Structure 1
């Protein structure tokens, strides 16, 4: 515990060096020999002295803090990213602070938030899939080191670390085709983030590759929520010729669809198969466990922190866009198309 009244002057006096040397030794900025650095750090530990991050910030120094900005702490996907980022930040001996924007940072709020955050942290990670165009423009003009996670809506000059959506969705629907399904429903999320559109592209491409004509009646507009998945499930099952499988653009919507299926008295996967996307923690605990696509949160967090640290140090970034393949996780919610359905097995043409 830091003793009351202990200052950098006290540390320098105990270590037998100047205050400037003690400051350099503790901050890592400027030259200090390893012997001096060890001596000053020992004195600081003995006195219980901890450098004041706010004071360093006011002097234009480094705070050794990375900030992460999110807009929905109730999101399981965002929480997975934040947890993984926390582990990676510790590995580089820095601290992580979280700012919850509670929205999309539109209507001028984004500029105010950007001004407030500038200088408080050495670098910023944004996990804001619902970022407005105005706020993106504000960030692009910022001098702060910034990395975006899972941003898909527009092209940007900022570095982006993201998971692949198109090929992941293609793998999911191809799996269903290989199981004999030909009427495959799709529950899309809202278009604002760009992710749902990409997952729909994979869905459409997989059907086309298998020679299956797209039926617009099998596509339902959801909003990534479990309730919209349940509504979508009821809608698809009420069709004159319902699907034998449902692919949802998120695990939450897939779980909602599974509820609708059970309410209809149908079995999963004997009567209808279900696939989600994201592999949130609850996906493995549904009954039956949900087949889904997984973005590698740990690997993406590692790449994000490494890219950000390079930029904090003034080093050139390695890549402008870092994209990770989705992993297809097959569980028990998918199975062969039910006998007697209109589904017929077809040979899948891989690309």
Structure 2
């Protein structure tokens, strides 16, 4: 049996009584089309079950209706949630998502940016391994497609940024610990090569200073976004002669390692040490006791970033801008009063 021919843009134009250019403007939502004419075209599209071929139209304009999304680690729950939300929004806007994962490899990161541009994506949304690198800034500014950075900000260049405002959540976290009587507070903070590490370090230090506190160097450790570094850093703090009564862990992956160290060494939270983490994950939500966290809305963060990127695609000369999303403390069960902790 001969396969039925799929309807074309010419068929839609004929059914609606308009030219193919008018149909194209309706499909791509570009240029002026009168209300009644637009309705006729949309009715024709629906009645014919016409499916626009965005790939073909993109090839003719040398740009696909697609967006590149670059993240460092797809196994990180935060990045997985961001990719899932971005794909949902892009599909609603008739864009496809091309995913690149750097695995914290700076050379692969550069390769992914260049490959996505050469493949003809309309724009790129990315987190960076190191937003303090001059080479990374120069590479991004040289690209011929719009870029929006998510929770990253170029130290040596300009880019449109959507990021979390860290000051409020960090201040609330330190205030909560101090209210519960904690003065010896350990910090497991990510390094200064990305915006969250710089902002969290600054915000926590400022919040401690408001209470006339400053952690000694031995109570501060740098962690990566992985389990092993969290384990090692917590081991360093908890084997000190004067170990902290509370620890703030600035990475959701490092938090898993920190909690694993406590478990393996028969230490309990919050009885032996109070814990505050960052970002909602299954671990923070489902563990008992539940983990107190500095939280943010991944969905709102991603929605804003994708919307800005689509705006920049339609208006390439739009100035770069920075949009900050809020953070807040969610008090749960992992912080206790000093009088309730073992040995106090």
Structure 1 runs not aligned, ≥5 long: 344-351
Give 1:21-100 correspondences, 5 Å limit: 21-60=22-61, 64-89=65-90, 93-100=93-100
Structure 2 match to 1:306? 307
Structure 2 match to 1:10? 11
Query: RMSD of the TM alignment (CA)?
Result: 3.0
Structure 2 match to 1:245? 246
SS of 1:230's partner is: helix
Return the offset for 1:128: 2.9
Cα distance change of structure 1 residues 258 and 325 upon mapping to structure 2, 3 Å threshold? same
Return the offset for 1:98: 3.3
Matched, 1:296 2:297: yes
After superposition, the C-alpha distances for 1:41-75 in whole angstroms (9 at most, x for unaligned) are 33333333322112211232875544322232111
Structure 1 match to 2:201? 200
Structure 2 match to 1:278? 279
Alpha-carbon distance in 1 for matches of 2:205, 2:90:
39
SS of 1:56's partner is: helix
What TM-score comes out, normalization by structure 2 length?
0.85
SS of 1:293's partner is: strand
Structure 1 match to 2:125? 125
SS of 2:338's partner is: coil
Return the offset for 1:326: 1.1
CA contact (8 A) 2:227 2:256 kept: yes
CA contact (8 A) 2:186 2:215 kept: no
Cα distance change of structure 1 residues 228 and 116 upon mapping to structure 2, 3 Å threshold? closer
Return the offset for 1:168: 2.7
Structure 2 match to 1:168? 169
Structure 2 match to 1:234? 235
After superposition, the C-alpha distances for 1:261-312 in whole angstroms (9 at most, x for unaligned) are 2333232112210111122232111221111111222222232233223322
SS of 1:45's partner is: helix
Alpha-carbon distance in 1 for matches of 2:86, 2:108:
28
Return the offset for 1:233: 1.8
Return the offset for 1:162: 0.3
Return the offset for 1:248: 0.9
Return the offset for 1:208: 2.4
Cα distance change of structure 1 residues 242 and 44 upon mapping to structure 2, 3 Å threshold? same
279-288 vs 19-28, greater mean Cα deviation: 19-28
What TM-score comes out, normalization by structure 1 length?
0.84
Alpha-carbon distance in 2 for matches of 1:326, 1:314:
30
Return the offset for 1:242: 1.0
